[in-house]
Amino acid sequence: MSNKTVYLNGKKVSEDAARVSIFDRGFQFGDSVYEVIRCYNGVPFLLDEHLERLERSLGELKIPLPNPIDEIRDLCTQVAREHGTAPSVLYIQISRGVADRSYMPPPGLVPTFVIYCEDMPIADKRLYSEGIAVAVLKDIRWLRCDIKTTSLVASVVQKMNAAARGAEDVLMEREGVGVVESGSGNLFVVKNRCITTAPEGEFILSGTSRGLVLRLAKELSIPVKLAFLQKAEVYGADEVFITSTTAEVLPVCRVDSVRIGDGFPGPITRRLLSAYRAEVARVTNYKYEE
């Protein structure tokens, strides 16, 4: 296991001492929410946006905050700084707490609060110069994808199925809706120099990186349309890319057996990746390798 800086219920502990009860509802039911925050140069990037989404997810599941949000923000900053300046990710998980196993939680539970930071290098340059392959598979997730819950087994299964087809990620196709997002990121499709991405709502998790890319596209005068696309429209795209906290702006150059555009990352994808990384550098003073 990689080296981690771990806090459990607000106190720093060693990895070996980081233990949660088997009766925790996060373990028993996936009754918990989480956030993953990319840290550059020891600085959590888009921290306020992540914490805003964390509060929303907790509110939707009626799980109380374990600490005031300002204290959680301060702890995130502290943990990232303690861990060091190498690229890393900060993981937050808050469950409803520990109780005897019952679907109906008893009143007065104390949430379990886990936060840790671990090294995670920037993705291989090859992925950004060559792009990845994805497979379109049926969306078998529940109907509240807007809540960032730890119940991720459907995405695990579909990522495994995509890998069996030789793809590096999955695009989820929701019956009667269209292709909504990837297994762990938001989908953007470029046609005739216009970007289309799914609207906010219950079918997608509105990513913090998605929000930044939408802002950057506006600043760069790149037109954006919010709509669900059918699989044939994705196949016919000029460019496809996925945004996520860890991958930033990741080009997709093959969908199923279909080559996208000329088979290489397109100009709008490259432009937005450059703008995204410029924003990272501005906020965190991180210097990407040339």
Inter-residue contact 31 to 93 (CB < 8 Å) = no
> Which residue out of 148, 191, 225, 287 is catalytically annotated?
148
287 flagged as catalytic: no
290 vs 288: CA distance, rounded Å: 6
Strand 32-40 relative to strand 11-13, pairing: unpaired
CB 150 within 8 A of CB 93: yes
Scan for tokens 């140069």, then name that residue: 41
Cα 256 to Cα 134: distance, rounded to the nearest angstrom: 6
Q: Look up residue 276 and give its amino acid.
A: Y
Closest CA to 72 of 105, 34, 41: 34
**Strand-pair partners of 7:** 12, 115
Question: What is the strand order of the sheet 112-119 is part of?
Answer: 11-13, 4-8, 112-119, 88-95, 32-40, 43-44
Structure-token pair, residue 61: 């599941």
Strand 178-182 and strand 11-13: pairing?
A: unpaired
Tell me which residues are annotated as active site.
148
